[in-house]
Amino acid sequence: MAEAPDPTAPAALVSEATLRALVDFDAARQRVRDRLAQLTDGPQLLRFFVHYASWNGHFANGVSALSSLLGGSRSLFREEGFPRAVADRSNYIASYFFDAARDEYDDHINPARDSHRCMAQAALISMKDHLGLSDAALEEDEPAELVTVNDNVLVGYTGQPAAAEGRAAQAFWAIGYHLGSELLADQEFSLIDEHLRKHHNDLVQHLMRSTVHLAGGTHRCYAWVGVHSGHGGAVEADHFDYALEGAHNALRFLVGGDTATAVRALQNGFCAFERDHARFFGISAAG
C-alpha cells in the first residue's frame, strides 16, 4: 500500500490547489473580460494597454527586490547538519525567484537585449500607429489609481505589510505576492490574447508583422503578449512553477520551524496581489 502523503510537508501546505482555494478565479477572469469589453474605440484600447504596460513594468523591479530580500536572509534559511559558514540556503531559495527577474530583463529569444518593458513599449508604439493616433496618446499622465496600484507592487514584493510580524512573515508575504502575480498573470494575458484575436485581429496581425527599433535593438511588437499568454510562450506558468518550488524550499529550510506563521503570511501576500489585480482592472480607460 502506498504511503499516505504528509499533510505537513511543504508541497502539501503550499500548492496550486491550496492557493486557488483562497480566491475566486472565475471572478478574476470575468473582471478581465469585463474590462476588455469596455474598450469600444481606439483611444480607449490604447489607453488600457498604456496602463497595463505601466503596471507590468514594475514587476521586474519587484521580483528583483524579492530576490534580494530572500538572498539577504541568511539567518532565516539554514540547513541542519552544516556548520554556520556553510549552512545558509538563502541565495539558493532566492534563485528560484530570480529566474523570473532574469526573463523580465531579457527574454533571451531576441538577439538584442529584449526586456519585457521594451517589448511592451514596442507594442504600444506599433498599436498607436495602427490605430492612427498621435504621439499625444502616449504622453498622457497616469491616473492616481494607477499610481497607487503601481506603488503597491514594491510594497507587496518586499512584504512590507507583514514587516512588523518579523522577517519570516515579511519574506513569506512577499513570496505569496509573487505567486499571486504569476498565477493570475498567465490567465489574464491569455484572456487578452484571446480578446484581441477575436475582436481586433487586424491589430494582432499588424503587431505580429511589425518590429520597432528602440534602446539600440529591434523588438517584435506582439512578443509582449505572445510570450506571456498561455497560448504562446506561457512564461508566467513557468515562473509560477519555479516560485512554488522556491516556496517549498523556503519552508524546508526555515529556521525555527514556525511553518504555520509562514504559510499564513504567504497566503495573505497571495490574497493581497488578488486585491491589487481587482484594483487595476477597475481603473477606467475612458480618459
Query: Each residue's pLDDT tens digit in the chain (287 positions)?
Result: 445 556 678 988 999 999 999 999 999 999 999 999 999 999 999 999 999 999 999 999 999 999 999 999 999 999 999 999 999 999 999 999 998 888 777 666 767 777 889 999 999 999 999 999 999 999 999 999 999 999 999 999 999 999 999 999 999 999 999 999 988 877 888 899 999 999 999 999 999 999 999 998 899 999 889 876 665 445 556 788 999 999 999 999 999 878 999 999 999 999 999 999 999 999 976 65
Residue with cell 513599449: 121
How far is CA 151 from its chain centroid? 14
Based on the number of CB atoms within 10 Å of its own CB, is 117 exposed (0-12), middle (13-18) or buried (19 or more)?
buried
Query: Cell numbers at residue 121, please?
Result: 513599449
> Over the stretch 253-282, which tens digit does the pLDDT of each residue have?
999 878 999 999 999 999 999 999 999 999
Residue with cell 487578452: 192
pTM of the model: 0.92
Whole-Å CA distances, 20 to 16, 94, 234? 6, 23, 18
Domains and CATH numbers, the chain: 19-114+127-280 (1.20.910)
For residue 218, the SS3 value is strand
Give 213's strand partners: 218
Give 214's strand partners: 217
